[in-house]
Amino acid sequence: MWYILIPIIIILILWIRIVTPQTIKTVEFLWRFTRILRPWLNIIIPIIEITRHQDLFRKNFAVEVDWITSDNVTVYVGLNVVFFVQDDKNDTTDGSIYKSVYSINDPRTLMASTIDEQLRAMVSTFGHKEIFNKREEIWQSIEENLREKLSQFGYTLDSIQVRSIKLEANVTAAMNKVVESSKLKEAAQNEWEAEKIMQVKRAEADKEAKILIWQWMAGQRMEIAKWFKESVDLIMSSDKSLTWDKILKFLLDSSRIETLWNIGNSDKTKLIYLNEDLEWRAMNKESKLIAWSELMR
């Protein structure tokens, strides 16, 4: 019984073609295109009919081009191309399936040569500094031209991405040094400006502090003067015979005694004894200060 199954299996293998999703097959009768097989179980005539396979899913293709810019710097531009074959349901020789199978052998070679030619022409018009800002312009220009080229062979361009733009290592190092130097200069300038602002702020704060101290001292002197006047007026009102000089001497002596009393109550006070007679002579001789040598006479 088993020997009967073998011929049947062989016939099925020869006659049946299974087409999986996102793939497609073309059929040739005696090496001439006749029809297209889509995903499912399909029947062909063995030996006199053969099939060719084609994928419909999207494919990535990386391209890298190096060329010289307008200022004689070598630049490396890396692109990624996404393309696919779209089933337009046209089973004739004008359809995208037929063109993708029979019109071109290797679409990657076509894309590489097209991108290389156009990209080199564009790079030569840019300087090495400005090319980094031309990403959008580069892919838009290449995309338009490549889409038209691929459509002639049944392929559809999905998108183009500019993966990288790189310069020669020595040029990149030189540019990094320039940027680093600029950043250091900017940092030093900012530090100097900050120090300048701090100095101005400290000067303003010192000025305001001194103004407050002067205002406080002036207020203190005003209060002392007011207190002296009130005290003198009070003493003179009690005894009309007292003069300003006597009253002033009394108040000064009272202040001196109070000061000495406060000093004596402190544990860490150091006393210096002075000749009060000399001090009094210095203060009262014609209401003027005299030299120390005169006081010693």
List domains and CATH numbers for the chain.
Answer: 2-55 (no CATH), 59-167 (3.30.479.30), 202-295 (no CATH)
Burial class (CB in 10 A: 0-12, 13-18, 19+), 150: buried
Contact 25, 53 (CB under 8 A): yes
Both tokens of 184, joined, read: 């250091």
Contact 12, 46 (CB under 8 A): no
Contact 67, 120 (CB under 8 A): yes
Rounded distance between C-alpha atoms, residue 64 and residue 56, angstroms: 25
The pTM for the full model equals 0.57
In this prediction, residues 29-56 reach a mean pLDDT of 92
Both tokens of 248, joined, read: 């002033």
Please give the share of the chain, as a percent, with pLDDT higher than 70.
Answer: 77
The pLDDT confidence band at residue 1, using thresholds 50, 70 and 90, is: low
Would you report the helix, strand and coil content of the chain in percent, each value rounded to 5?
A: 55, 20, 25
Burial class (CB in 10 A: 0-12, 13-18, 19+), 228: middle
Rounded distance between C-alpha atoms, residue 121 and residue 124, angstroms: 6
Kind of pairing, strands 155-167 and 74-85? antiparallel
- The confidence score (pLDDT) of residue 5 equals 75
The highest-confidence range among 129-143, 173-187, 277-291, by mean pLDDT, is 129-143
- For residue 86, how many other CB atoms are within 10 A of its CB? 15
